[in-house]
Amino acid sequence: MSDLQPAAAPAPGVPAGAPAGGAPAGDVIHDIGFRHYDGPRYGRGWIVRSLLVDTVRGVFGLGRPARSKVMPWALVAILAVPPIIIGLIVLLVGGDDPPITYTQFLYQFNVPISLFVAGAAPYAVSRDLRHGVLPLYLSRPLVRTDYVAARYGGLVLAVFAILAVPQTLLLIAALLAKLDVGAQLVGWAGGLAMSALLALLLSAVGLAIAAFTPRRGLGVAAIITVLIVVQGFSFALSGLAYGQDAEGLAVLAGALDPYRLIDGLAVWLLGADPVIPDFAPTDAGQGAVFVLVYVVALAAFGGLLLQRYRKAGRL
């Protein structure tokens, strides 16, 4: 919305000297009366896509004041610089594998990723909820779930983008270092698949929390807190269980943390190298639990979000 051209060109064919009504004198624009619109009116699909694009742009601060751009782009830089450095190291030192795999990257950089989600999710939903803007959307040709879908889809795309870019940089570095092309491409594709799963889950969690904390600052804090607390809790549980020789439980506790859940899925589904080998799922039962937890968590947070809008969506 930043590229506005506010000075609308006078419509051709409209007589300029037809003042109709009480526009104050001295206005540079001639009052040509109310003009009707007979151009195209796009339908629901177009509107949802528009709102989705708008959400992505807004998350990155495009069309918003400069200070809204600082945080997202700083985090993008934080995520993009390490792959470049890693790439340089591989290029200079050589070796068969980069020091970090594509899926491990998601776990290792969980802090900037969480910060990004915490900043973006409240932007996407809190403002409209807090200021009662929703009736303005709902009185237009779309339905409540369209609005939620567009906001969610926009956030998922944005989160996926900040994950996919550094992974792609990692791939480019690996290819420049003449590592095995096939293996790198497979690893990269797996990384993107896991990025998509992580983006879907983190966006659902972030939006659900943000939708219940209409103040933006509060939403940011709540999301960070929840992600950090859950991670700490999951680790403490794993450590405790490991100390008691309950290794199975130590593995399953990892499913509580979205990042370790994704890492476990990568290990189980793609055979990727785990971040913490001791806590990686090893048998089919554990793998099934990870898949189940993912599906249930996604459904639960998505449902929570929709539930919130069922109430808030009333005019």
Partner 1 sequence: MSPSASEPVPTGSGPAIVARGLTKRFGKVTALSDLTVEMPTGVVGLVGANGAGKSTLIKILLGLLPPTSGEARILGLDAATDGLAIRQVVGYMPESDCLPPDVSATELVVHLARMSGLPGTAARERAADTLRHVGLYEERYRPIGGYSTGMKQRVKLAQALVHDPRLVLLDEPTNGLDPAGRDEMLELIRRIGTEFGISVLVTSHLLGELERIADHVVVIESGVLQRSTSTAEATALSGSVLVEVTDRAADVVARLRASGAQVEVPDDGATTFAVDLADEAVLDAVAAAAADLGVGLVRMQRRRHHLTELFREAAR
How far is Cα 122 from Cα 114, in angstroms, rounded to an integer? 13
Contacts by 285-289, CB closer than 8 A, 24 or more apart: 286/248, 286/251, 286/252, 289/252, 289/255
Smaller CB separation from partner 1, 26 or 243: 26
How far is Cα 14 from Cα 18, in angstroms, rounded to an integer? 9
Smaller CB separation from partner 1, 1 or 93: 1
User: What type of residue sits at position 90?
Assistant: V
Smaller CB separation from partner 1, 144 or 298: 144
Token pair belonging to 163: 């994950």
Contact positions toward partner 1, by CB under 8 A? 1, 4-9, 20-24, 27, 29, 33-37, 39-44, 46-47, 50-51, 54, 63, 127-128, 131-143, 315
CB of 148 to partner 1, least distance (A): 14
* Region at 140 (left for phi over 0; alpha for psi -120 to 50; beta for the rest): beta
How far is Cα 61 from Cα 232, in angstroms, rounded to an integer? 31
CB of 31 to partner 1, least distance (A): 8
Smaller CB separation from partner 1, 45 or 94: 45
Residues 6+ apart with CB under 8 A from 95: 177
CB of 168 to partner 1, least distance (A): 30
Smaller CB separation from partner 1, 94 or 141: 141
How far is Cα 272 from Cα 275, in angstroms, rounded to an integer? 9
CB of 125 to partner 1, least distance (A): 12
CB of 18 to partner 1, least distance (A): 11
